[in-house]
């Protein structure tokens, strides 16, 4: 199990806080064992939370020119036809993956191609399962076009706990299927938009794994 590079600042902050907390307990309450144990327990809990949240497991990727792979770990919470008004400006089939704080939060390209569109949107921090989060929250919009001209749009959407979306792409970049394209910190969601009529391999309630679960065949 690896530790993701995005977690080092958070681990440093938690480590510094833990050192101060333990130092206060030992120096100001030397005769109160319960205060020292409390400091140790809180520090251990916080460090474990950071280590598990920013974990970066090694995986065997699922690859295929005709496959759209889940870009994130999580649970399928939305499958519906909706209007996509930013790029396609027509009706699309939306699939949304909710990422809880216990999921791996690495985001990956669902298919290979070229990044034909990218835009970052500052916004609110509504809970990620709120339908308005897709249009009102802090988010990115990424469109990848494959060699056959097929385009898929997906969005990183910040949740109520998330306060930073990280992306590693820009327009014109090569997108390698299942390659890292970003990270969302502390709870979030990813939306994908397919052509209406696309046959999906998942249903609402399914738990998917980024870089492994096949969402659709194109």
Q: Give CA–CA dist 210/4, Å, rounded.
A: 15
State mean pLDDT over 132-151: 85
Q: Which residue has the higher pLDDT, 133 or 85?
A: 85
Q: Provide the 8-state DSSP code for 200.
A: B
Q: Which CATH number fits domain 67-217: 2.70.70.10, 3.90.1150.10, 3.30.460.10, 1.10.630.10?
A: 2.70.70.10
Give the whole-number percent of the chain exceeding pLDDT 90. Answer: 78
Tell me if 113 sits within 8 A of 147, measured CB to CB.
yes
State mean pLDDT over 7-14: 94
Tell me if 50 sits within 8 A of 10, measured CB to CB.
yes
Q: Locate tokens 């990424």: which residue? A: 142
Q: Give CA–CA dist 197/217, Å, rounded.
A: 12
Q: Name the strand (E) or helix (H) holding 12.
A: helix 8-28
State mean pLDDT over 31-51: 92
Give the whole-number percent of the chain exceeding pLDDT 70. Answer: 91
Catalytic residue annotation: 188
Q: Which residue has the higher pLDDT, 80 or 125?
A: 80
Mean pLDDT of the chain: 91
128 pLDDT exceeds 80?
no
DSSP result, 118-168: EEEE--B---TTSTTHHHHBSEEEEEEE-TTS-EEEEEEEE-SS---EEE-
Per-residue pLDDT band for 32 (boundaries 50, 70, 90) equals: confident
The set of residues, in sequence order, having a beta carbon less than 8 Å from that of 183 and lying 6+ positions away, is: 4, 6, 105, 106, 107, 165, 166
Q: Is 152 left (phi over 0), alpha (psi -120 to 50) or beta?
A: beta
State mean pLDDT over 111-128: 84
Q: Could you give the count of Cα atoms lying within 13 Å of 34 in the half-sphere of its Cβ?
A: 0
- Sorted by where each begins, the domain ranges of the chain are 2-56, 67-217
Tell me if 192 sits within 8 A of 68, measured CB to CB.
yes
Q: Give CA–CA dist 160/148, Å, rounded.
A: 38
Using one digit for the tens of pLDDT, what is the confidence trace for 77-105?
A: 999 999 999 999 999 999 999 998 889 99
What pLDDT score does 131 carry?
A: 55
Query: What residues form DSSP beta bridges with 79?
Result: 95
Query: What residues form DSSP beta bridges with 93?
Result: 81, 194
117 pLDDT exceeds 70?
yes
Q: Give CA–CA dist 148/145, Å, rounded.
A: 8
State mean pLDDT over 165-187: 92
């Amino acid at each position: 199990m690896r530790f993701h590079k995005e977690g080092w600042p958070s681990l440093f902050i938690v480590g510094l806080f833990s050192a101060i907390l333990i130092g206060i307990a030992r120096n100001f309450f030397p005769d109160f064992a319960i205060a020292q144990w409390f400091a140790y327990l809180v520090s251990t809990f916080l460090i474990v939370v950071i280590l598990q949240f920013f974990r970066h497991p090694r995986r065997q990727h699922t690859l295929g020119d005709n496959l759209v792979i889940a870009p994130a770990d999580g649970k399928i919470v939305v499958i519906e036809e909706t209007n996509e008004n930013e790029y396609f400006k027509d009706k699309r089939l939306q699939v949304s993956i909710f990422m809880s704080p216990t999921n791996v939060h690495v985001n990956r390209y669902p298919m290979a191609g070229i990044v034909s569109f990218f835009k970052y949107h500052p916004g609110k921090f509504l809970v990620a399962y709120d339908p308005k989060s897709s249009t009102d929250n802090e988010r990115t919009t990424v469109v990848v076009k494959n060699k056959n001209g097929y385009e898929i749009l997906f969005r990183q959407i910040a949740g109520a706990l998330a306060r930073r979306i990280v992306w590693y792409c820009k327009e014109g970049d090569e997108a390698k299927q299942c390659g890292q394209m970003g990270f969302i910190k502390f709870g979030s969601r990813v939306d994908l938009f397919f052509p209406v009529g696309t046959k999906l391999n998942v249903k609402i309630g399914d738990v998917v794994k980024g870089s492994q679960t096949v969402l659709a065949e194109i």
